Structure 1
Amino acid sequence: MPKIKIGMVQMGSIESKEANITKAIEYGEKATDEGAELIVYNELFSTQYFPAIEDVKFFDLAEKVDGPTVRTFAEFSKKRDVGVVLTIFEEDDKVRGIYYDTAVIVNKGKILGKYRKTHLPQLPGYFEKFYFKPGKTYPVFDMGEYTLGTIVCYDRHFQEGVRILSIKGADIVTVPTTTNFYPETWELELRAHAAFNTVFVVGVNRTKEYFMGREIRYFGKSLVANPTGEIVDEMGEEEGFRIVEVDLDKIKERRRKAPFLKDRKPENYTELSSIYIEEV
């Protein structure tokens, strides 16, 4: 397997979607100038994090997967010969009035597919069930020299998604995120996903922004964790980008010493899909 240079882009956004996209493309261009072969953006970067409140006016921000935002990044991906993971506020292309928080995977100009966020918080400052319908599946994508899977933000609190992606062959799992609480848990969970599943995990978080007249301090700290759970590199809280080179041969090396996926006992785990926590 080769070495891959990953560009993490973490940013805060303003009200203008056009300005956010322009800034994201500029960061992407700088990252590819420094050799990035895969660029991962934080969750819903083309808009402010509107689920911080409930307001029907924000449904106007949604667009389809073949809409202008994805087309813009597909053109950038083709021009720069790079893979891109971006998330959008998706309007279903078949059923009107149904929306998702969707990661779109693009490689060298080709839209490979999408992942719809499956776990949605409904917490103070994170009113996502008001806006989004949950997805159901965990696809993986052939990026040529490696296989990529993704989850989104709140999904990282649940172990099953990354495990499914790993079993399906993902070498790299990306986690576009918007979070402003418990940075120690942020690092712990991403490192644990990487260690338990012996994959590379790339978590990219939003930075502070002003929304509806107040500052919200999303703390950045985007990072890459390797198959042993160690942090390869980590950003600070400021907006910007970082290039991190990963050696995919480390996956094979780790799995020879720690064959966790081989030693799984799925026949013993059937209770997972049948046990529910009773409502209080």
Structure 2
Amino acid sequence: MSDHVKIGLIQASNDVHGDEPVAVHKEKAIEKHIKLIREAKAKGAQIICLQEIFYGPYFCSEQKTKWYEAAEEIPNGPTTRLFQDLAKELEIVIVLPIYEREGIATYYNTAAVIDADGSYLGKYRKQHIPHVGVGEEGYGFWEKYYFKPGNMGYPVFDTAYAKVGVYICYDRHFPEGARLLGLNGAEIVFNPSATVAGLSEYLWKLEQPAHAVANGYYLGAINRVGMEAPWNMGEFYGQSYLVNPRGQMVAVASRDQDEVIIGEMDKKMIREVRDTWQFYRDRRPETYDDMTALLP
């Protein structure tokens, strides 16, 4: 396994009006992202991550049961199987963030991880679920209406090219899971997101480089672009990026364009940084009991 791995991050706008049927959203978005994945492969990408719930709008802007129709089983749903075939064809690892249904009507915000031979390695379920309004129109980040909190911990997947962890959007505000992904062996963590301009934008390039430095791994942050009708609750500001364990930006996307960005991951740098900054050696877990004992 080479020390040098090409990482592809894909950010895109949603091209379908929110009033259209769920099936139309999924068909158009999947078609679009398959083309972008092929573009990323042509540019040398070996591991590719898409944005949060890539196959439609950020429907959590409203609270409607319509969007439950977008959920699928993982790995037995059609979208996972389709991208397993694509991963095998292109010999790439795909981090695939989709809306998951378990059983009859239990829903999670999930990312499936597919290896370069097309095999399904497992999934991560978003742990931290926001629920907050934006403005007077009643729009917001109404995620507790759609998702249960994750219940599968912070797994790391040993892919053909690197050990991969996943954190999803709002998770990025919580350093505890970011550390657990490092403890579980992650060499790179992906954070597929859907976040709009405003209060959180200044944190976009602050928190995640800090996670990369504190935990000694690469981090790929992915955000969608554009305005999404009919909600238009804010601009999804893109600026997807790959950051290294020294907190340096390896590659950064534009603010307002569909874009495939490619950055190189150097595993030797991970070892060098961890040998220099012995954060794992010097941490004191026996002193942290209050983190779980104290309630707000």
TM-score normalised by the shorter chain: which range applies?
Answer: over 0.9
Aligned to 1:208: 226
Paired letter, 2:252: E
Shift of 1:4: 0.5
How do residues 156-235 of structure 1 correspond to structure 2 at under 5 angstroms? 156-181=172-197, 182-212=200-230, 214=232, 216-235=234-253
Aligned to 1:138: 154
Aligned to 1:105: 113
| SS of aligned partner of 1:119 | coil
Separation of aligned partners in 2, 1:239 and 1:33:
16
Separation of aligned partners in 1, 2:79 and 2:62:
23
- Of 93, 97, 102, 1:87 maps to 97
Paired letter, 2:5: I
C-alpha distance after superposition, 1:142-166 (max 9, x if no partner): 0134211001000000001110010
How do residues 40-79 of structure 1 correspond to structure 2 at under 5 angstroms? 40-65=49-74, 66-79=76-89
Aligned to 2:4: 3
C-alpha distance after superposition, 1:212-260 (max 9, x if no partner): 2647410000011111112112111111111111111100001111011
Further displaced range: 73-82 or 57-66? 57-66
Shift of 1:261: 1.1
How do residues 235-274 of structure 1 correspond to structure 2 at under 5 angstroms? 235-237=253-255, 238-274=257-293
Could you list the runs of 4 or more consecutive aligned residues of structure 1 that deviate by over 6 angstroms after TM superposition? none
Separation of aligned partners in 2, 1:203 and 1:217:
17
Paired letter, 2:142: F
Give the unaligned 5+ runs of structure 2.
17-24, 134-139
Give the unaligned 5+ runs of structure 1.
none
TM-score, length of structure 2 as denominator length: 0.90
Aligned to 2:141: 126
User: How many residues of Structure 1 are paired with residues of Structure 2 in the alignment?
Assistant: 275
Separation of aligned partners in 2, 1:258 and 1:169:
16
Counterpart contact for 2:61–2:231, Cα < 8 Å: no
| SS of aligned partner of 1:4 | strand
| SS of aligned partner of 1:6 | strand
Paired letter, 2:93: G
Counterpart contact for 2:93–2:160, Cα < 8 Å: no
Paired letter, 1:86: L
Paired letter, 2:98: I
Counterpart contact for 1:14–1:209, Cα < 8 Å: no
TM-score, length of structure 1 as denominator length: 0.95
Counterpart contact for 2:61–2:233, Cα < 8 Å: no
C-alpha distance after superposition, 1:174-233 (max 9, x if no partner): 000000133220110111000110110110111114222647410000011111112112
Aligned to 2:22: none
Separation of aligned partners in 1, 2:114 and 2:234:
30
Identity %: 36
Aligned to 2:19: none
Separation of aligned partners in 1, 2:80 and 2:227:
23
Separation of aligned partners in 1, 2:185 and 2:231:
44
